[in-house]
Structure 1
Amino acid sequence: MTQEPKGILIVDDDQDMRELLERRLRRWDLDVVSAENGVDALEVLEREGIQLMITDWMMPEMDGLELCRAIRSRAFSRYIYIILLTGKAERHELVEGIEAGADDFIVKPFKKEELHVRIRAGMRMIQFERQKETAIQALRKKNLELEQAGATIRAHLEAAGKLQQAMLPLDVEHLGGVHFESLFVPCEYVAGDMFNYFELSDTKIAFFLLDVAGHGVPAAMQSVTISKVMNPLTLRARKAPTESSGEVKTRLLNFQDPAELAASLNRMFMGPKTGTQYFTMIYGVIDTEKNRVQFVQAGHPSLILLKSDGELKAIGEGGYPIGLLPKATYFAIELDVAPGDRIFIHSDGITDCRDANRKSFGFERLHEILSAKRQCSMRETLETIHRELISWTESATLEDDLSIVAMEFK
């Protein structure tokens, strides 16, 4: 609880008036300090932490109004409550005193009861100012603590973001005659998107891109968990539950069969059982001997096939997200590829990207870019998509994670 202020400064060039005020104030158990004029009063205020002052209006060297102005112009660390003692009672004179910085008036001659009431009012105001300052200091301390906590969280998120990006494959990689390029732009420090491409055998290459529902840390943690399950270093040891005749059994994930793998992941990451978020995905297997691609679409944007002659096809009608429906079934889609063909898989952060009028970037604009850049390198194509999205949103920060994997058959 804030202690009630007791120190009062009396400023008056009339010694009798000073002594009269001192006697009365000391009877009220108040500590009194006196000064003969405004110059001496300023010295006292600089030296002592007094917050309540009664000053005469008419004084030599520096009168009461000048003293008020001097106090208000100085950067005191505390508020000083000023009661102006005066024989002037005209309205314009009271206005002049208030404009100079006085808080209250006592008009001579005054009664001790009136003096007591006005001093009590001044003390309440000083207490309020002290409480306000205490609250401000507490708020500043709390803000500093929050800033420090925020800095720590940002540092942790930045580290998590770097760790997540380190789990991604190289931006440019050649596997079994297939040239891969990728682009990954989180909308926050970490992303719910994840992708990878890796060899299953001498003639089989797997690729996937997944997008966990939501944003931020929960989505990122889910995406990392899934990517660990689908990591080529652990795919031989990773098991997934299946239901057969009412019994739960386990078997190895079948990375050779996209539809079967999607079904296994759906059982593994079913939300009501695991408390995790659903996700969309395209997972595919490239047979480099047969020049054939087999993939599954699980609620994800369609795979885009750009033929060497410039023909563009969006392949796939949707499918069910993984971890959303327990009885969802998945079907593999097959397509043949030839040297010079390109395949693109991407997150909906591209097509759902909105401009200032909330209009989506859309599939048509994406397809136009891919067709227009057919003769360019895939890196230039991906960077063009990124630039066009920034131009579309008129912002360097997108609302959703952006990820895209491109592959060209040599």
Structure 2
Amino acid sequence: MPGASHVRVALVDLPGERRAALARLLEADGRIRVVALADPMALPAGLDGLIVHAEAIDAAQWPQLAVTLPTVAISQPGRHDDLLPAVEAGVLSHVVDPLANVELLSKLLRRIIDDRFQQQMTVRDRDRLEVLNEQLQSHLTTLRTDLQAGGQIQRRLQPQPERELNGITGDYWMAPSLYLSGDFLDYQAYGERYVLFCFADVAGHGASSAFVTVLLKALFQRWLSRWNARLPENLPARWLARLNRELLDTGVGKHAAIVVGIIDVERRILYYSLGAQMPMPILADDDGVRLLEGEGPPVGLFPDIEYPAWQCALPERFRLWLCSDGVFDCLPGADMEARLAVLREHIGASSSISELKASLALSDALPDDLTFLTLSGFNMPGDRDNG
């Protein structure tokens, strides 16, 4: 065995001075302990290898010895033919005239014992890896099932697509890069005058980011239920500040780019606040396509942040586009500005999300979560009343 101070071997030979002399010579350096015997079928336990004299056994016994232990066949000078049955049985290590070649015999014996040990270790490692692989496959199957279930729950938390709310039509398309998405969106009517929406891109991928989207849904629902419809122009900024504190307090180490907005249908004004949203919200109307103004830090990174409040008068017919940053992976261009210009061109030529998807020629395999949200009115061409 590798690293062992000595090995224990059986010397199978006819009794006599030849066997005794070879045993003494093998044990001389203290690294080999020899058990001398004449019957190869009566081997004691605990052996590491065998030395078998061709004269001491029948040819029919070699096949069994070849698979029992690492074996060296020995023979007398001029008796090479005695070794043929051993070689045919698979015993490939042999020494002629062992008394004159004790050092060679000793090294050869230890070498084949080491080789057998390594083979056994390889087999054990392979068997262990097969067991671990089976366990891993089982865990992956369970994880995949859990993620698929999580994806279904996440989709159930999303609003109804192509939904008409107080004259505003909301529609979206969401494609996670894996089973779960780190993107979040929601839009809801408040009374008969307002439409509130939230669009967020949580940093990272997978389950941890998806859990944050569930938190966003719960907070959005809770804060909306507590709003008294006063000061709508201040609500988005106030919500972002509260959300920033919530994410920091959870300690999950997640931050998000986000937009929160309120459309006052009666006054035709959009009130909104931004948390590092990229790309910026894009407004398309009869006069063209433009980016909304504004800025603000991401939520969940810095404490005690106050977010600016922005507003925009809405024309008679408009479509507000919100895209997660995964869209940049689908656009040509040497830098972000070039890709943003391409995106504006595509949006200017698209009257719906399905047209935008077609113009971008999106594939099924996406490197990042990708989400589109549109809010359109008032009587924008292509809107459909599903209320």
- TM-score, structure 1 normalization: 0.69
How far did 1:65 drift? 5.2
Match of 1:330 among 308, 316, 322: 308
The answer to whether the 8 Å contact 2:262/2:271 transfers is: yes
Match of 1:397 among 361, 365, 384: 365
State the partner residue of 1:93.
none
Change (3 A) 1:21 1:337: farther
The answer to whether the 8 Å contact 1:306/1:343 transfers is: yes
Query: Which amino acid is 1:265 matched to?
Result: L
Q: Which moved more, 1:192-201 or 1:217-226?
A: 217-226
Query: Which amino acid is 1:110 matched to?
Result: L
State the partner residue of 1:136.
126
How far did 1:189 drift? 2.1
The answer to whether the 8 Å contact 2:276/2:297 transfers is: yes
Query: Which amino acid is 2:163 matched to?
Result: E
Match of 2:208 among 185, 196, 218: 218
The answer to whether the 8 Å contact 1:306/1:342 transfers is: yes
State the partner residue of 1:316.
293
CA distance in 1, matches of 2:172, 2:262: 17
> Within 5 Å, which residues of 2 pair with 1:146-165?
146-165=136-155
How far did 1:306 drift? 1.1
Match of 2:276 among 299, 302, 320: 299
Q: Residue 189 of structure 1: SS of its match in structure 2?
A: coil
Change (3 A) 1:128 1:237: same
Query: Which amino acid is 1:381 matched to?
Result: E
The answer to whether the 8 Å contact 1:8/1:51 transfers is: no
Q: Residue 179 of structure 1: SS of its match in structure 2?
A: strand
How far did 1:185 drift? 1.0
Change (3 A) 1:226 1:405: same
The answer to whether the 8 Å contact 1:200/1:206 transfers is: yes
Query: Which amino acid is 2:99 matched to?
Result: F
Structure 1 residues without counterparts, runs of 5 or longer:
69-80, 85-105, 239-251, 391-395
Q: Residue 230 of structure 1: SS of its match in structure 2?
A: helix
State the partner residue of 2:62.
41
Change (3 A) 1:35 1:201: farther
How far did 1:53 drift? 4.8
State the partner residue of 2:30.
none
Structure 1 position 384 matched with structure 2 position 362: no
CA distance in 2, matches of 1:147, 1:258: 53
> Within 5 Å, which residues of 2 pair with 1:253-264?
257=232, 259-264=234-239
Alignment length, in residue pairs?
Answer: 343
> Percent same amino acid among aligned pairs?
20
How far did 1:297 drift? 2.3
How far did 1:219 drift? 1.9
How far did 1:269 drift? 3.0
The answer to whether the 8 Å contact 2:268/2:314 transfers is: yes
Query: Which amino acid is 1:41 matched to?
Result: W
Q: Residue 305 of structure 1: SS of its match in structure 2?
A: strand
The answer to whether the 8 Å contact 1:188/1:216 transfers is: yes
Query: Which amino acid is 2:310 matched to?
Result: A
Q: Residue 118 of structure 2: SS of its match in structure 1?
A: helix
CA distance in 1, matches of 2:146, 2:130: 24
The answer to whether the 8 Å contact 2:350/2:356 transfers is: no
Structure 1 position 54 matched with structure 2 position 67: no
Query: Which amino acid is 2:272 matched to?
Result: F
Change (3 A) 1:193 1:258: farther
> Within 5 Å, which residues of 2 pair with 1:368-379?
368-374=345-351, 378-379=352-353
* CA shift digits 1:56-111 (9 cap, x unpaired): 7944896555554xxxxxxxxxxxx7312xxxxxxxxxxxxxxxxxxxxx233534
Query: Which amino acid is 2:290 matched to?
Result: K
Q: Residue 369 of structure 1: SS of its match in structure 2?
A: helix
Match of 1:365 among 342, 357, 366: 342
Structure 1 position 267 matched with structure 2 position 242: yes
The answer to whether the 8 Å contact 2:236/2:309 transfers is: no
How far did 1:255 drift? 8.6
Change (3 A) 1:280 1:221: same
How far did 1:405 drift? 0.5
The CA RMSD over aligned residues, in Å, is 3.9
Query: Which amino acid is 2:36 matched to?
Result: R
How far did 1:167 drift? 0.9
> Within 5 Å, which residues of 2 pair with 1:42-191?
42=63, 45=66, 49-54=68-73, 58-59=80-81, 66-68=88-90, 82-84=92-94, 106-108=95-97, 110-111=99-100, 113-114=102-103, 115-191=105-181
